[in-house]
Structure 1
Amino acid sequence: MIDFFKPTYTGDEDQYVLDSMKSQRMSGDGKYSQMCHEWFEDHIGCEKVLLTPSCTHALEMTAILINVQPGDEVIMPSYTFVSTANAFVLRGAKIVFVDIKADDMNIDESLIEEAITDKTVAIVPVHYAGVACEMDTIMDIAERHQLYVIEDAAQGVMSTYKGRPLGSIGHLGAYSFHETKNYTSGGEGGMLIINSPNLVERSEIIREKGTNRNLFFRGMVDKYSWVDIGSSYLMSDIQAAYLWGQLDNIALINDARLAAWDYYYKGLFSLERLGLISLAKHKDKHKHNAHMFYIKVRDVAEREHLISFLKDKGITAVFHYVPLHSSKAGQAFSQFHGIDRFTTRESERLIRLPIFHGITVSEQEYVVESVRDFYGIHFNDRIKSRG
C-alpha cells in the first residue's frame, strides 16, 4: 500500500523533544520556540515570527491585528481551505471570492481590483501547492487602495517569489506545520509572520491572551495585565522541539521532495504530450517546494475512475478542495465576484499523487506505471488518435 502522505520524520526530533520534556519550560516560548523563531526570522528576513498551535490560529490572529469589523470585505480565492475564509468570518467579515488561474490554481490577480469596494479591507492570496501568486501585482493593487495583504502560505515553506520567501511579502503571512505539510511540529502547528513593524507589539499581546506579558518578561513594564483582546495562541515548546529537529535537516528534506516531484514530472510528461493529462506548470522566477504533485484529467468522472483504479492497485490518490463558494457556509458568508470560469472546473479535474519525505523511487515508479496503465487500458483509442 502506498499512502498519500506520511508525516515528515528524520530521527533527530527525538532528542530535542526529550530535552524539552525534561526542561522547566514545556509550554509556549521555551528554548526551542525561541530557536525556531530566530531561525525563521533569519531565513525569511521579516520583522517577527510567532509560533502558533495551527495555521488556522495564525490566520485568526491576522484578522484581529488588522481590526476586521462586521461588514468589512476580504478578497480571496474560493479554491482554498476553510480556515482562510473562516478566520475573517469569525470577525464578521464578508468574503468576496474571485476566480483562479487554470495554470497554477492561484488567485487571478487581474480580477482583484474590480472586486474592491469601499468596504474592502484586505486581500488574501493563497500560494497553492507552494507556488507563488503574482505578488508584485497584488501588492501594487493593495498599496493604491490602502488594503492589507495577508499571505496564506500554509503550503509555502521554502518556496520563493523572485527570490523572496513566501510569507515575507505581504503585511502579514501564515505558515502551517500540520502533519500533511513538508515540515511538521508533531501533528499540528503554525506560525504568524509579521512584516509590518507597527504590528509586532500588538501581535505579541494578542497571542498572550490579550496581556502585555512579553513586555513584562523583557522588563519593559513592572507588571503585566489585560490590555487588549486575544487568546492562547502559543505552540507548546515540545512541538517546537519536534519542528527544530526538521529545521536541522530542512535542505535535505526540501531537496528530496524536489527530486520526487521531478521524477513524477518526467515519468508522466509523455501522457501530457498525448493530451491525456495536464501537469502543473511553474514559472522560472518562482521557486516551489514540491509540496504536492498533482495532475489534471479530463473531467470529474475520469477523476473518480482514476482514483478508484489506483486504489485497487494499492495507491492512495486524492482530489483536493471543494470550492468554498459552493458550500452551505460559503453561500451564507460570501459572494463570488465575476464568473466562475476556472475554480469549479479545474478543481474537478485535479488529482494529487502520493509524495512525502522518504517515498522511494520504486514506489514512485509503481505510481507512474499505474497511471500509464490506466490510460493504456481505458483510453487506448485516445492515445492512438494522438500518437
Structure 2
Amino acid sequence: MTGQEVQYIKEAVEEGHLSGNGIFTQWCQQFLESRLKCNKVLLTNSCTAALEMSALLLNIKPGDEVIVPSFTFVSTALAFVRQGANIRFVDSEETTPNIDPLLIESQITHKTKALVVVHYAGVACQMKRIMEIAQKHNLFVIEDAAQAIDSYYQGKALGTIGHLSTFSFHETKNIQCGEGGFLAINEPLLAERAEIIWEKGTNRAKFFRGEIDKYNWVDTGSSFLPSDMQAAFLKAQLESIDTIQKQRIHISEKYEHLLNPLVLKKKIKTLHIAKDATNNGHIFYILCRDLEERTALISHLKEANIQAVFHYLGLHNSPFIKRSQTPQTESFYECSKYADTLLRLPLYYELKDQEVVRVAETILDFYE
C-alpha cells in the first residue's frame, strides 16, 4: 500500500462514475502507454481477461493450434482452449523456466495460428529469436507478461515486442489493485477492434469520445473493463512504481548476495538473468537438487515461521489436458525439473533487510 489508494477511491466515488472507463481508467491507460512506449493499452479485470481478449482478437477458432510453454499458469493456455484451439506445449530452457526457442519450430504446423511466450519471474524470453521464428512462419506472438511489469529486454520494455501483450495487477504482483490487468496492443491494425471487443462488442468508446452520434453492436466481445474504483487504487500504485521497483530489486539482490556461498558450492542455483535482460524483482527463487531436498527445505523454513512455496506443475501433464487433448510424446524434462526443484522465497515491498537475512540464514543452516 502506497498510502493514496483509499483517497483515490474516495475521489472516484465523489466523481460519481464507478463503472469502467472513467477518469482513473483513462489516467492509468495513458500512464502505461507512455511508460511502456506502446501503441495502445486497455485495462482489464485480470490478465486472464486480457488473454481471452487476445484469443478473440486473433479469431482463434476450433482446429487452430496455439503454442504455449508448459511451465506456466493455466490462464496462458485456457484463454485459447476456450475458443476451441489445440494447444502444443513446449519445454523450458535449461537455464530458465522460459520457453525454449530451439524447440518451438518442431511444434509448428499449417494449423498453427499463434505463439504465446511467458516471461517467468519477469525475466525476458529470448524474444529476438522468437520473433524471427514468428515472422518466418507468419504467426502472431502474444507476450504473457503477467509477472513482467517494468522489466526489459535489449532496452525495450517487456510487453512491447510481440503483437499483443497481457499483464497482471493481481495482489501478488509488483503493482496491484486486488484483481486487474491490461492488454497492450502493439500492432496498430488490431487497436480499433480491440477496443470494440473490450466494450462488449460495441463501438461505445467511440461514442463517449464524441466520434459517432450513437453506438451499436458491431462485433463479438465481453465485459472486460475493471471498475473505475479499481483503477483509482491502481493509480496510487503506478505513481509509486519507481519506489516499489527499487525496493523489490534491492531485496532480490540481497538474497542473491547472501545465498551466493551455496551457489558457489553447487548446492543450489538461483534465478538466471541473461545479459540482455533485467530483473524486475518479481520473484526470487532457488533451485534445489531434487524434490526430496526441496520438500525438506520447505519444512525446515516452516519450522522457522517462514513461508516458501513451489510454483507451477507442467500443464502438459494436467488432468484436463490429458482428458481433452491428444497427449504429446515429448519428455518435458526441464519443465519437470522446475516443477520439482524451484522454490520461491518471500519477496514483497514491506520485507525488511533483517527478515531477508533471517530467511537466508535459515537456508544456509539447512544446507550445513
Alignment-derived partner of residue 113 in structure 1: 105
Listed as ranges, the matches of 1:146-225 within 5 Å are 146-185=138-177, 187-225=178-216
What's the TM-score once normalised by structure 2's chain length?
0.98
276-285 or 61-70, which deviates more: 276-285
276-285 or 168-177, which deviates more: 276-285
Query: What is the identity, as a one-letter code, of the residue corresponding to 1:119?
Result: K
What secondary structure does 1:22 align onto? Answer: helix
Structure 1 residues 93 and 293, CA, compared in 2 at 3 Å: closer, same or farther?
same
Q: Which one of 78, 94, 104 corresponds to residue 86 of structure 2?
A: 94
Structure 1 residues 126 and 329, CA, compared in 2 at 3 Å: closer, same or farther?
same
What secondary structure does 2:113 align onto? Answer: strand
The alignment status of 1:325 with 2:316, answered yes or no, reads yes
What secondary structure does 2:320 align onto? Answer: helix
Q: Deviations over 1:340-367 (max 9, x none)?
A: 1211122210000000011001111110
Q: Which one of 269, 273, 277 corresponds to residue 286 of structure 1?
A: 277
**Deviation (angstroms), 1:102:** 2.4
Task: Work out whether residues 75 and 120 of structure 1, in 8 Å CA contact, stay in contact via their aligned partners in 2.
Answer: yes
User: Could you tell me how far apart the structure 1 residues matched to 2:306 and 2:358 are?
Assistant: 9
Q: Which one of 20, 37, 46 corresponds to residue 45 of structure 1?
A: 37
What's the TM-score once normalised by structure 1's chain length?
0.93
**How many pairs does the alignment contain?**
367
Alignment-derived partner of residue 315 in structure 1: 306
Q: Deviations over 1:14-51 (max 9, x none)?
A: 22111112112111111111110110101111110000
17-26 or 351-360, which deviates more: 17-26
User: Could you tell me how far apart the structure 2 residues matched to 1:125 and 1:372 are?
Assistant: 34
Query: What is the identity, as a one-letter code, of the residue corresponding to 2:301?
Result: L
Alignment-derived partner of residue 306 in structure 1: 297
335-344 or 303-312, which deviates more: 335-344
What secondary structure does 1:74 align onto? Answer: strand
The alignment status of 1:366 with 2:334, answered yes or no, reads no
The alignment status of 1:134 with 2:126, answered yes or no, reads yes
The alignment status of 1:28 with 2:20, answered yes or no, reads yes
User: Could you tell me how far apart the structure 2 residues matched to 1:50 and 1:193 are?
Assistant: 7
User: Could you tell me how far apart the structure 1 residues matched to 2:239 and 2:5 are?
Assistant: 9
User: Could you tell me how far apart the structure 2 residues matched to 1:133 and 1:83 are?
Assistant: 18
User: Could you tell me how far apart the structure 1 residues matched to 2:212 and 2:5 are?
Assistant: 36
**Deviation (angstroms), 1:294:** 0.3
What secondary structure does 1:319 align onto? Answer: coil
100-109 or 324-333, which deviates more: 324-333
Question: Percent identity over the alignment?
Answer: 50
What secondary structure does 1:235 align onto? Answer: coil
Query: What is the identity, as a one-letter code, of the residue corresponding to 1:220?
Result: E
Where in structure 1 are there 5+ consecutive unaligned residues?
A: 1-8, 377-387
Q: Which protein, 1 or 2, shows the higher relative CO under an 8 Å CA cutoff with sep ≥ 6? A: 1
Alignment-derived partner of residue 265 in structure 2: 274
Task: Work out whether residues 97 and 335 of structure 1, in 8 Å CA contact, stay in contact via their aligned partners in 2.
Answer: no
**Deviation (angstroms), 1:284:** 2.0
Listed as ranges, the matches of 1:189-268 within 5 Å are 189-268=180-259
